[in-house]
Structure 1
Amino acid sequence: MNAREEILRRLGETPAEPAAYAAIPRPYLRRHHEGDAVELFAERAADYRAEVRRIPGADLPAVLGALRGHYVVPDGLPADWTAGADVVRDDPPVSIAALDALDGVITGCAVAIAETGTVVLDHGPGQGRRALTLVPDHHVVVVESARIAADVPEALERLSPDRPLTFISGPSATSDIELSRVEGVHGPRRLTIVITD
């Protein structure tokens, strides 16, 4: 039997039981940092040119209310977060043309990864559909400190593999052959991360 035949044979087998999958040994290092994961996340996210602010949770409505412009918010985002902000709910879904005309989007996140400075969206409640986070020019992500995982393995344990995942490390950017950086080509030109307790 060659490798192709072996793979095709395995595809026909019944999937592993959840208990059997959980019992697979994973001896790799699961956490690289024992220090303050929130501080490390803020530092790494800023390295990727995100604007990072750490605030008490009670200040969140005032901070989001101070945003200038008209922002879209996904279904499931706590209404008290944006009590003073100029927002439109994405229910019914806002058209792509209307999203492009808005100043930005405010979302929550599923998890954030301190080691890489990455925000992960699984597009559940408060995170919205992918178009919300790709079309507007400014993405404001509220990261509750309890959602910050120290490392990638710890973050992946908190995520469901059957959800659509978007990993965001800084504003959208690309470089040409001469390494001239251009931001906003494939998504928001600005990324603001508001970390709350």
Structure 2
Amino acid sequence: MSSKDLILGRIRAALGDTATPDVPRAYRRAGTEKADVERLVDRLVDYKAVVHRSSDVAGIVASLEPGRLVVPPGLDPAWLPPGVPTVDDEHDADAVLTAATVAVAETGTIVLDGSPDQGRRVISLLPDLHICVVRPDQVVASVPDAIARLDPRRPLTWISGPSATSDIELNRVEGVHGPRRLHVILAER
């Protein structure tokens, strides 16, 4: 008899004939709410992200003076401002510019899935500045709505504001395991 069998046998003996209650499975499903871009903006700002609303993505990127910018291979070239140096190596970059797969209004979360316009996961974690472009049609109301749009076989990165943690005295420290600054451009058409 294994240790596992011994422990489970003791648990069954202690429970006796008591029936195991049914666990309710009435989870909220996708498609029950309308996406609210304003709620997304409120959540992002609450997380200390800077939100820009513009159709001029290249102009916003240029105004941020990103320095050496990592650009994934499938990124829309119209989003790149002229004169901003781009690099392929994430270790030599000051900032990264990516697209997004989906953004969750309820939680202020942006999800990247490693698509060609988002690049490898590491490029969004190493530079000090992450500039992420989100289209209004990518905003969903809730996490179940986001899950419904995602491919679970892809490498998912869930971002809720700049990288931050707190020490034992609850002092916030930013940039510990990712970018200290997050700028989200809501690309209005």
TM-score, structure 1 normalization: 0.77
Q: What letter matches 2:77 in structure 1?
A: A
Corresponding position of 1:65: 62
Measure how far apart 1:34 and its partner are.
4.5
Cα displacement string for residues 16-65 of structure 1 (whole angstroms, at most 9, x for unaligned residues): xxxxxxxxxx853336985661111111111111111112x2x2221122
Corresponding position of 1:53: 52
Instruction: Describe how 1:34-183 pairs up with structure 2 within 5 A.
Output: 34=33, 37-55=36-54, 57=55, 59-68=56-65, 69-84=67-82, 86-90=84-88, 94=89, 96=91, 98=92, 102-183=93-174
Unaligned runs of 5+ residues in structure 1 are 6-25
Measure how far apart 1:80 and its partner are.
0.7
Give the secondary structure class of the aligned counterpart of 2:116: coil
Measure how far apart 1:110 and its partner are.
0.7
C-alpha separation in 2, matches of 1:62 and 1:95: 23
Q: What letter matches 1:60 in structure 2?
A: V
4+ runs deviating over 4 angstroms: 31-36
Residue-pair matches, total: 166
C-alpha separation in 1, matches of 2:99 and 2:47: 19
* Structure 1 contact 64–84 (Cα < 8 Å) conserved: no
TM-score, structure 2 normalization: 0.80
Cα displacement string for residues 141-177 of structure 1 (whole angstroms, at most 9, x for unaligned residues): 0001110111111111110010010000010011110
Q: What letter matches 2:39 in structure 1?
A: L
Give the aligned CA root-mean-square deviation in angstroms. Answer: 2.2
* Structure 1 contact 145–195 (Cα < 8 Å) conserved: yes
Q: What letter matches 1:185 in structure 2?
A: V
C-alpha separation in 2, matches of 1:54 and 1:62: 11
C-alpha separation in 1, matches of 2:31 and 2:46: 19
Unaligned runs of 5+ residues in structure 2 are 6-24
Q: 167-176 or 28-37, which moves further after superposition? A: 28-37
Give the secondary structure class of the aligned counterpart of 2:169: coil
Cα displacement string for residues 164-194 of structure 1 (whole angstroms, at most 9, x for unaligned residues): 1000001001111001111000010000111
* Structure 2 contact 68–87 (Cα < 8 Å) conserved: no
Instruction: Describe how 1:22-37 pairs up with structure 2 within 5 A.
Output: 28-30=27-29, 34=33, 37=36
